[in-house]
Chain A
């Protein structure tokens, strides 16, 4: 390990939160915004959310119907690949499990999912990382509708993976048989993105 002469660090992560902050991350009270393009602004009238399989729509909800699905609230830590982590963020939305249930699916039809978003963004994840309460389509942050810059009206929330996986402005999940690279995954970022193993970039073990 190369010691950096004169670097002390402000040691913001030491103490109580230390075991909650993955390697290479720092805690911020702010909520930074990272997006590859302009912020899409889809009205709730135009918005819909769907589950798709093999080019076919399995289920689709308009906003008013989506709001009637079972609501779950979670408080989680989030970790962005650009090094910031934010602790105790509170979200409300519909869990992946409840979406499957509402769509009449007894089990996930494939092992992988590609999230598709307004603006053309995509991100992939294994179904095992979404099911059993591990992910939701979030519509509220700290009791308020998610701001457009943060992914509103709805974003995927997969807090145990780097936050680029929690795709903003999500419009449908495509069930796919084989894992495929999404937007950042095809531009040099890690295919899976576990912050605790520091899987930031392609080839990180």
Chain B
């Protein structure tokens, strides 16, 4: 969806729901929102009383249709300028400037087909949630697997909803993995998503899955490289990276 231009709109915060100790789902009423595709993002613009402005991009985590509000997922960047404000200061009823939708590549529409392999690290699950929700709401039955990595069980965002979607057994499979230890009784995976886990739990290259990888840069680099090494076509692997780069080779 690419409107001819993207005006700033004034949204109203409808709710801010904690998803973990470090992240919230922020629900927005946006009059005139033109609609979006699962996977797209929006820009927020904050203005201080002296006119100073800051802008940031956030992935949209709500489905394109059938939901009353637009949802973004905000995770704390410790020394950040915008995320601490959104998590600590923003209240229900506050107005917020935004524009979008933005980005026409990292998108999936029910009917694009699959199988669909979603690989998320931390809050990188946000645009993948939009895809899962779009699939569920449209009654689409494309086989989909979500490989979702978080540090601890408490940092798995949207856990209750994901568990519920997985329980429906309609072709969606959730593979969650914890990288910094698991609680007693944890039945998911442990350790980082790498070649081994992608080979064991992803779809084989012969099935030509559509692949979306979103997360911190080192996570996406490692997953995308591993997928290429396993024989998946580069052109079928769509990526979205964020945050510090770490040590890149």
* Chain B binder among A101-109, A122-130, A143-151: A143-151
Q: Is the CB of B52 within 8 A of A11?
A: yes
Q: Does A188 contact B (CB under 8 A)?
A: yes
CA of A174 to CA of B63 in the docked complex: distance in angstroms? 40
Contact for A35 among B10, B46, B53, B239, CB less than 8 A: B239
Contact B95 A36 (CB under 8 A): no
CB pair B234 A119 closer than 8 Å: yes
Complex Cα distance A34/B106, Å?
12
| Closest B residue, CB atoms, query A14 | B52
Complex Cα gap A39–B5 (Å): 31
> Given known contacts A31-B245, A188-B2, A203-B6, is B54 in contact with A1 (CB within 8 Å)?
no
In the complex, how many angstroms separate the beta carbon of B42 from the nearest chain A beta carbon? 11
Q: Considering the chains assembled together, what is the distance between the CA atoms of A200 and B221 in angstroms?
A: 25
B215, chain A: closest CB distance, angstroms:
12
What chain B residues lie within 8 Å of A204 (beta carbons)?
Answer: 5-6
**Contact code string A142-160 (vs B, CB < 8 Å = 1, else 0):** 0000011110000000000
Q: How distant is the Cα of A119 from the Cα of B239 in the complex, in angstroms?
A: 13
Residues of A within 8 A of B2 (CB): 187-188, 202
Among B51, B85, B241, contact of A6 (Cβ-Cβ < 8 Å): B85
User: 1/0 per position for A12-36, CB-CB distance to B under 8 A?
Assistant: 1010000000011010001111111
With both chains docked as a complex, state the minimum distance between the C-beta of A169 and any C-beta of chain B, in angstroms: 11
CB distance from A5 to the nearest CB of B (A): 6
Give chain A residues whose Cβ lies under 8 Å from the Cβ of B85.
4, 6-8
B160 proximal to A (CB < 8 A): no
Q: List B contacts of A24 (CB < 8 A).
A: 45, 53-55
Indicate with 1 or 0, residue by residue over A30-50, a CB within 8 angstroms of chain B CB atoms: 111111111110000000000
Q: Is the CB of A187 within 8 A of B237?
A: no
The distance in angstroms between the C-alpha atoms of A184 and B105, with both chains bound, is 8
Could you tell me if A5 and B94 are in contact, using CB atoms closer than 8 angstroms?
Answer: yes
Complex interface: stretch among B137-145, B166-174, B223-231: B223-231
Cα of A6 to Cα of B47 in the assembled complex, Å: 9
A40 nearest CB neighbor, chain B only: B234
Asked whether A32 and B81 contact (CB < 8 A) given A3-B49, A37-B235, A188-B103, the answer is no
Interchain Cβ contacts under 8 Å between A and B, 14 examples = A2-B95, A4-B95, A5-B91, A7-B47, A32-B243, A33-B217, A36-B238, A36-B239, A38-B224, A38-B237, A39-B224, A40-B234, A119-B235, A203-B4
* Further contacts, 8 of them, CB under 8 A, given A3-B49, A4-B46, A9-B53: A2-B47, A2-B95, A4-B95, A7-B48, A33-B221, A147-B249, A149-B248, A201-B102
